[in-house]
Structure 1
Amino acid sequence: MDRGENRHQERRNRHKPSTIHSLAQAGDLTGLRSILLENPALINARNPIMAQTPLHVAASGNQANAVALLLEWNGLEKVDIEATNMYGETALHLAAKNGCTSALKLLLGKNASIEAKAHNGMTPLHLAVWSAVRTEACDTVEALLDHNADVNAEDNEGMTPLSHIPKISSHEKLQTLLKDRLELQLRQKAQKICQLSEQRMTDLEAELNKLMGLKELKLQLWKWAKGMILDEKRKSLGLKVPRRRLPHMAFLGSPGTGKTMVARLLAKLLCKVGVLSSEKVVEVQRTDLVGEFVGHTGPKTRRKIEEAVGGILFIDEAYRLVPAQKADDKDYGLEALEEIMSVMDSGKLLCIFAGYAEPMQRVFKSNEGFCRRVTRYFYFQDFSTLEIAQMIHLKMEEQTDDSLLCGLKLDRSCSVEAIAGLLEQKTSKKQRSQLNGGLVWPLLLGAKDSLDFRLDLNCCDCEALVTISLPDIEVALDTIPGELSKFPSY
């Protein structure tokens, strides 16, 4: 090739159009503006093999002016600040990895995700530390820490940024930077957890106060919740905390004493502190678990178990799974119980077995592993007449627009003491033991029926039309049957 032809080739090369990636790498602002005006879509174009955008290239070369231009570009297409290359790295990752502090600060100023993770789980801080170990320069690390990068973030190998500093090294400044910030972040996290914990305990107490009686149970729940919240705080400070097993429980007591309500409250509480992943409570009885034929019980029970995963499986009248007398070949209750027992160590759900205290002894004795798995026993005492009367008042105060008692109120004569006196006179101890809180709703509906019956159709007295009197409650009490089996279901 002669000299003239060489000069001609040089001129051709000089005027050959550059790619947007090469312009970004060179920091050629004029070229970048020109090519973007001509083809706006190129702003997020990816190069071959590495799949990097112009922003990746400019950031990795610390071309701050080019980074600023791309970030501020006001054309038809906008830069994707979170675009990732073939390794899952953002432009912030590359700026951190290459110690490009100027570019990194510009990206942080535009709220680039400081905790973004590459495919290996590394955050920009991991890579900045890796770079600082090699170069002895801590500028990028300091810039990330100034934006509160998480010093305790773990990569796919469970290593934090601090773990990437060789144990035998002279990187004292880097170690001090990270350790001081880690201590500060742990304190801040613990303080935030304290504030949340205080609110959680306030919420818990408000919920517990809605329950009548159950003084000992409330105290146990409060202590338990406090212990879990303190463990959460210990963990946030970097302290070791023993793994909590799901606390399977037995709720012992008569119907209507609040067992189901407490189970729902527990689900909320345990979900809030992270013990459960869901607030759901799946309520089942024998008929929901036990099949009529061979091979039906296992699948039927497993379906209910699967439905409760993440929350609570509440087995009401659990003693019915274990017959009082020796079971014949057609009783499959024990099979259902064994299915439930088989998943109790899995950590997938919490089981609550509920029923009368005495027949529940059959369940406790039916399986050797039951008492090992069920570690919490709560006794629900029968409500007193005063507590039932308080529940009646509470029910009237909590009426919603879609309630059957919406708009109604109790007469002044219907004091808690007056209603409690009527309950003492008109119901037997056996009736109250069988029904407890189950008396409240039917009693109020019966009182409304009495109100409607005694009012004249021509009555236009607004007060009279909405006021339940003490005689209305007395009439409703007279309709309560002596046996639970004869009581209507509401």
Structure 2
Amino acid sequence: MPGPGSQNGRASPPKSENIHGLVRAGDVAAVQRKLQENPALLNDKNPVMCQTPLHVAAGYNNTEIVKFLLDWQGQGADRVEVEAKNMYGETPLHMAVKNSSYESAKLLLERGVHTGAKANNGMSPLHLAVWHALQTGDCSTVNLLLSYNADCNAKDDEGKIPLNHIPGGAGNEMLLQLLTRHMEEQRKQKALMTCHEQQSMAEFEEAISQIVGLQELKMQLRRWARGMLFDEKRRAMGLGIATRRAPHMAFLGNPGTGKTMVARILGKLLHMIGILPTDKVTEVQRTDLVGEFVGHTGPKTRRKIKDAEGGILFVDEAYRLIPSQKSDDKDYGLEALEEIMSVMDSGKVVVIFAGYCEQMKRVIASNDGFCRRVTMFFDFDDFTTTELAEILLLKMNSLTDTSLLYGFRLHRSCTRGAVGELIARGTTEEWLKQMNGGLVDTLLVNARENLDLRLDFSCNDAETMITITLEDLEAGLRQISRQRHLR
């Protein structure tokens, strides 16, 4: 049972001035100085292994640094990416458990990291914890993961669950008994769930799988889902408890990073787990809220709020409500914002403000009550080429009959890695920042057109007629490039 990227047999780390070397050496003060000088290093990936500082700290069980990174609140810095993956697809939790870094694993689990994350070979943290226990006889991290209900039936790419990797014979009885007992407990827990609960959780996980990246948001959604299920059980037991509410949120990021799409999915998820009475998402911009004359804005905004009751009011490009420069003329955007703020304590609607990170600072500063009411901020980072490839594959695997690509398929050579490399070669950093997810739809439409150009009218092979190849995708990227140069 191989453990990819293992750090077993650690030697004394060499002295280094880069942040990964300082983390490996356990130099907390130096790591603090580095991040204060350059907060962008928080999630920096090192060459070859593509590990973040949190990967390194967790793997070497430098718990003081793990805690520091998890708590980092440096000015202008993103939060630490607790679900970041290295070249083997391993998260910091994978690194901790396969190196018996018990304390670091516990800190990560206390922050709600996903116990079911899978490496490139399909192994979950529990697979790797079992692998380490077989080498050392230390079952502490296995016990820890099981206490957080890690799935004993998770399968790796060979179709094996953690138990399947334990050979019979002397010396392994305790580990076998431990996993067997927890598998039985999880089986009983699943049997106690109603069909409705099982269906709801299956739909929940299916919906969440459509969100690429945004691990922090996914973790929060899982917390809400678990909380709602436990609340149902509490009420079934006759316990009187308060009704749970979803907080108001801000989505910060560039165009094409998926803010609107995630808001729509979020509406369905919050309704699915019982936090919202409906799944509707009312999308508005400045023109939907702001009137041209005195007395028009208030009623116009209130009508939109009324439409959104029971669901989500999604205010896109919210910074447009606040003028970038002071003017002698009255701007009614602030009036619209104040109308929205006045109903946010009612519990009748969940409000999500969305926009560019820098421009949204105007909205935050414009109203003293904004940060009291909007308590959750999510950063939508620009997509990496790998994430864009993942989005492309998701789109092609979930086409509806209204899609322009309905009925078409990708050639088997169009793997996530191959498509990601293609996008990396055919685009620039500036492209990706400006287009993000918007690149995918244009690319697919262009690729379909190239397929039509490439085919001969004598072709009668059905598969060939509907199969988009890497060649088509590459031609689609070139077409986008030409169009951009004409602007």
Q: TM-score range by the shorter chain?
A: 0.5 to 0.7
Give the counterpart letter for 1:221 in structure 2: L
Give the counterpart letter for 1:424 in structure 2: A
In the other structure, the counterpart of 1:317 is 317
Q: 2-side partners of 1:485 and 1:273: how far apart?
A: 47
Once the two structures are TM-superposed, the CA of residue 209 in structure 1 deviates from its matched residue by: 1.4
Q: How does 1:468-487 map to 2 (within 5 A)?
A: 468-480=468-480
In the other structure, the counterpart of 2:388 is 388
Give the counterpart letter for 1:213 in structure 2: G
Per-residue CA deviation, residues 432-470 of structure 1 (Å, 9 max, x unaligned), is 122222221111001111111232334333333222122
- Report SS of the residue matched to 2:436: helix
Q: 1-side partners of 2:475 and 2:330: how far apart?
A: 46
Q: 2-side partners of 1:225 and 1:464: how far apart?
A: 44
Give the counterpart letter for 1:387 in structure 2: E
Structure 1 484/257 Cα, relative in aligned 2: closer, same or farther at 3 Å? farther
Structure 1 463/203 Cα, relative in aligned 2: closer, same or farther at 3 Å? closer
- Report SS of the residue matched to 2:376: strand
Q: 1-side partners of 2:298 and 2:289: how far apart?
A: 8
Give the counterpart letter for 1:377 in structure 2: F
Percent identical among aligned pairs is: 58
Once the two structures are TM-superposed, the CA of residue 358 in structure 1 deviates from its matched residue by: 1.9
> Do the aligned partners of 2:228 and 2:274 also contact (CA within 8 Å) in 1?
no
Structure 1 273/193 Cα, relative in aligned 2: closer, same or farther at 3 Å? farther
Is residue 2:215 matched to residue 1:215?
yes
> Do the aligned partners of 1:254 and 1:380 also contact (CA within 8 Å) in 2?
yes
Once the two structures are TM-superposed, the CA of residue 486 in structure 1 deviates from its matched residue by: 9.2
In the other structure, the counterpart of 1:401 is 401
Per-residue CA deviation, residues 245-299 of structure 1 (Å, 9 max, x unaligned), is 4411111222222222222222223223433221110011111111222222222
- Report SS of the residue matched to 2:354: strand
Per-residue CA deviation, residues 3-55 of structure 1 (Å, 9 max, x unaligned), is xxxxxxxxxxxxxxxxxxxxxxxxxxxxxxxxxxxxxxxxxxxxxxxxxxxxx
Q: TM (normalized to structure 1)?
A: 0.56
Structure 1 392/233 Cα, relative in aligned 2: closer, same or farther at 3 Å? same
Per-residue CA deviation, residues 143-174 of structure 1 (Å, 9 max, x unaligned), is xxxxxxxxxxxxxxxxxxxxxxxxxxxxxxxx
Per-residue CA deviation, residues 335-356 of structure 1 (Å, 9 max, x unaligned), is 1111111111122111111112
Structure 1 485/455 Cα, relative in aligned 2: closer, same or farther at 3 Å? closer
Structure 1 258/392 Cα, relative in aligned 2: closer, same or farther at 3 Å? same
Q: How does 1:176-215 map to 2 (within 5 A)?
A: 196-215=196-215
> Do the aligned partners of 1:316 and 1:354 also contact (CA within 8 Å) in 2?
yes
Q: How does 1:392-471 map to 2 (within 5 A)?
A: 392-471=392-471
Is residue 2:226 matched to residue 1:226?
yes
RMSD: 2.6
Once the two structures are TM-superposed, the CA of residue 192 in structure 1 deviates from its matched residue by: 7.5
Q: 1-side partners of 2:245 and 2:327: how far apart?
A: 33
Structure 1 runs not aligned, ≥5 long = 1-190
Give the counterpart letter for 2:292 in structure 1: E
Give the counterpart letter for 2:382 in structure 1: D
Q: 1-side partners of 2:246 and 2:466: how far apart?
A: 48
Q: 1-side partners of 2:485 and 2:249: how far apart?
A: 27
Q: 2-side partners of 1:322 and 1:485: how far apart?
A: 33
Once the two structures are TM-superposed, the CA of residue 328 in structure 1 deviates from its matched residue by: 4.2
Q: 2-side partners of 1:486 and 1:290: how far apart?
A: 35
Q: How does 1:241-260 map to 2 (within 5 A)?
A: 241-260=241-260
Give the counterpart letter for 1:360 in structure 2: M
In the other structure, the counterpart of 1:365 is 365
In the other structure, the counterpart of 1:374 is 374
Per-residue CA deviation, residues 281-332 of structure 1 (Å, 9 max, x unaligned), is 0011111111222222222211111111111100111111112222442521
> Do the aligned partners of 2:250 and 2:374 also contact (CA within 8 Å) in 1?
yes
Give the counterpart letter for 1:355 in structure 2: G
Once the two structures are TM-superposed, the CA of residue 396 in structure 1 deviates from its matched residue by: 1.4
Q: 2-side partners of 1:192 and 1:486: how far apart?
A: 62
Q: How does 1:2-81 map to 2 (within 5 A)?
A: none
Once the two structures are TM-superposed, the CA of residue 383 in structure 1 deviates from its matched residue by: 1.7
Q: How does 1:257-336 map to 2 (within 5 A)?
A: 257-336=257-336
> Do the aligned partners of 1:318 and 1:355 also contact (CA within 8 Å) in 2?
yes
Per-residue CA deviation, residues 368-407 of structure 1 (Å, 9 max, x unaligned), is 1111111222222222111111221221122233432122
> Do the aligned partners of 1:292 and 1:330 also contact (CA within 8 Å) in 2?
no
Q: 2-side partners of 1:483 and 1:461: how far apart?
A: 32
Structure 2 runs not aligned, ≥5 long = 1-190
- Report SS of the residue matched to 2:266: helix
Q: 2-side partners of 1:249 and 1:266: how far apart?
A: 11
Give the counterpart letter for 1:265 in structure 2: I
Structure 1 213/467 Cα, relative in aligned 2: closer, same or farther at 3 Å? same
Per-residue CA deviation, residues 125-160 of structure 1 (Å, 9 max, x unaligned), is xxxxxxxxxxxxxxxxxxxxxxxxxxxxxxxxxxxx
Q: 2-side partners of 1:421 and 1:479: how far apart?
A: 17
Structure 1 409/445 Cα, relative in aligned 2: closer, same or farther at 3 Å? same
> Do the aligned partners of 1:318 and 1:360 also contact (CA within 8 Å) in 2?
yes
- Report SS of the residue matched to 1:265: helix
- Report SS of the residue matched to 1:202: helix
In the other structure, the counterpart of 1:345 is 345
Q: 2-side partners of 1:444 and 1:320: how far apart?
A: 32
Q: 1-side partners of 2:266 and 2:331: how far apart?
A: 32
In the other structure, the counterpart of 1:104 is none
Greater Rg by CA: 1
Give the counterpart letter for 2:218 in structure 1: K
Give the counterpart letter for 1:320 in structure 2: R
Structure 1 193/467 Cα, relative in aligned 2: closer, same or farther at 3 Å? closer
Structure 1 472/482 Cα, relative in aligned 2: closer, same or farther at 3 Å? closer
Once the two structures are TM-superposed, the CA of residue 195 in structure 1 deviates from its matched residue by: 6.0
Greater CA deviation, 414-423 or 198-207? 198-207
> Do the aligned partners of 1:217 and 1:379 also contact (CA within 8 Å) in 2?
no
Once the two structures are TM-superposed, the CA of residue 235 in structure 1 deviates from its matched residue by: 2.7
Greater CA deviation, 329-338 or 311-320? 329-338
- Report SS of the residue matched to 1:480: helix
- Report SS of the residue matched to 1:479: helix
Per-residue CA deviation, residues 465-486 of structure 1 (Å, 9 max, x unaligned), is 2221222111211232699999
Structure 1 484/335 Cα, relative in aligned 2: closer, same or farther at 3 Å? farther
> Do the aligned partners of 1:447 and 1:475 also contact (CA within 8 Å) in 2?
yes
- Report SS of the residue matched to 2:401: coil
In the other structure, the counterpart of 2:20 is none
Give the counterpart letter for 1:239 in structure 2: L
Q: 2-side partners of 1:296 and 1:484: how far apart?
A: 40
Greater CA deviation, 196-205 or 365-374? 196-205
In the other structure, the counterpart of 1:236 is 236
